[in-house]
Amino acid sequence: MSRKKETDYTLIVMLAVVAVIIASLTIGMISAMKNRRVAEPGTTPEQTVVVTDAPTDAPTNIPTDAPMEVPTSTPEPTPESTPEPTPPPPTPTPTPKPTNTPAPTATPKPTATPTPKPTATSSAHISATPAPLPVINLKHKGDPTDKMIAFTFDDGPNGLENGSTKTLLDGLRERNIKVTFFIKGMELDTHPYHKTLLKMAYDDGHLIGNHTYSHLNLKRMSEQEVFKEINKTNDIIEQITGERPVFLRAPGGAFREDMMAAVGMINVKWGPFDIGDSTGDWKKSHPNATTQDFEDYLVNAIVSKAQDGDIILMHDIIMTSVRAALRAMDILKEKGFRFVTVDELLLRNANENQTLSTTYIYTFMRQGDTRGLVDKK
């Protein structure tokens, strides 16, 4: 091949390559124009879509190479521009198949239960109707003008055959003297013989009263606990003697005045003279004194202070107190005193239509005194 032909061939090849390149660039530009990003009507710039094919109803008088103007505000959609999408029809909720539900039965009306009146065997609230007045079965009735003293003994029974309570019962039987025992229920569960002592005291004609079960301060207890302390002891005493007590002495004299009417018992304290707690025998011994000295002290305290109508507090769980009480009785008998149970003393001035109140605390009963007496209902 000649040099001139070789040059012409090279030039033709180069022109062909340039033409191919130009054609490729043109096709690319046209494709880019078709695939340009446009803002969809009714959307924000963040909600643009890529249009790959021009819509068939797009205007044809817009040059394909014209620059796209970005709108400054998003136009409101119109029915002519972009129709609002038709919401899909609601999915029907399947109707549950009816089940065979039995017909409701009528609920019976509750039967009204009458509220029982609170008694000493009830745990009713203190605001309930007060318990009825107890019936006092007076065993002894002497001359109300006699000089009377009621000896009372707390916290027993105590000891066995040679114990303090048995010694007291033997001494009272020898003297034909009747006293009042305020029984602590716990003692009756301590030893079987204590129940024998209680039955012995009852059969000898002594009055049996309630001194609670555990000897706790009633003012520091709930209503339910107070009823339990009292009722438990009443139940035990009634099982042994066949008679339910109606006289109550609260430990330490700490009565629940707000509950006395609901409890329904006669509340007995002691007095009126104050030597410790009445005689102070619970201290067991006097400071710097022997047992005999303390016994002499107790005898002198009782005899020198005793008056007609007194209620004297002592404890049959202390042998010193038992001996002192028997000695004091011998001296007071010589002075013309008659020893009675609490019920006889407190009813000395009552007529046949009167009885004792459950809301009064009795400490003594002088001749002619009518305090604490109420009409029978």
What's the CA dihedral at 204, 208, 212, 218 to 10 degrees?
Answer: -140
Q: Output the six-digit token pair for 265.
A: 């018992």
Catalytic residue among 154, 155, 281, 343: 154
Residue-wise burial string across 315-340, b where 16 or more C-beta atoms lie within 10 A, e elsewhere: bbbbbbbbbbbbbbbeebeeeebbbb
Q: What is the full DSSP assignment across 86-123?
A: PPPPPPPPPPPPPP-PPPPPPPPPPPPPPPPPP-TT--
- Residue 351 burial (CB count, 10 A): 10
Please name the residues in contact with 92: beta carbons below 8 A apart, sequence gap of 6 or more. none
Tokens 């109803």: give the residue: 57
Give the phi and the psi of residue 94 in degrees, each rounded to 5.
Answer: -65, 135
**215 labelled catalytic:** no
Catalytic residue among 194, 206, 211, 315: 315
Q: Output the six-digit token pair for 191.
A: 């030893």
Identify the CA nearest to 322 among candidates 363, 346, 291: 291
**315 labelled catalytic:** yes
> What residues act catalytically?
154, 315
